[in-house]
Amino acid sequence: MQSNKAKQAADFCAMVETVDSVKLARKLSNHLQHSARTLDILLQINIGNDPAKSGITAEDAERLYEQIAAIPHLHIAGLMTIPPFENTAEESRRYFAGLRQLGEKLCARGLRQR
């Protein structure tokens, strides 16, 4: 999501599924500071390292998770990805398996928000 849309998302959305930077997370939080709301977010992971896709690399996910977990008014509800196009579902499964493994790694290291 473009950071210039943060106010609208904070005002009208129950969840933002495309958070890939601390800058965007802070903007969302700033727009929520005068409300009692907590916004669920998903961290967008570019699991296939596709240059045409947005998101952070799997290698940067732990650092971003730690930074965003400390930002008020946000709840990291999980991870999301849009994998590169493959010809079959079977070929695409490896990307989702990689995302699942990343999520398990983050949980095993105790990286849970509040």
Q: Are 28 and 10 in contact (CB under 8 A)?
A: yes
DSSP states of 19-87 as a string?
E--HHHHHHHHHHHTTSS--EEEEEEB-TT--TTS-SB-GGGHHHHHHHHHTSTTEEEEEEE--PPP-S
**Confidence tier at 109 by pLDDT (50, 70, 90):** confident
CATH architecture of the domain covering 3-108: Alpha-Beta Barrel (3.20)
Tell me if the pTM is above 0.85: yes
Q: What percent of the chain has pLDDT over 70?
A: 96
pLDDT in tens, 62-76: 999 999 999 999 999
pLDDT in tens, 9-42: 888 788 999 999 999 999 999 989 888 889 999 9
The pLDDT value given to residue 111: 63
The domain ranges of the chain are 3-108
The pLDDT value given to residue 98: 95
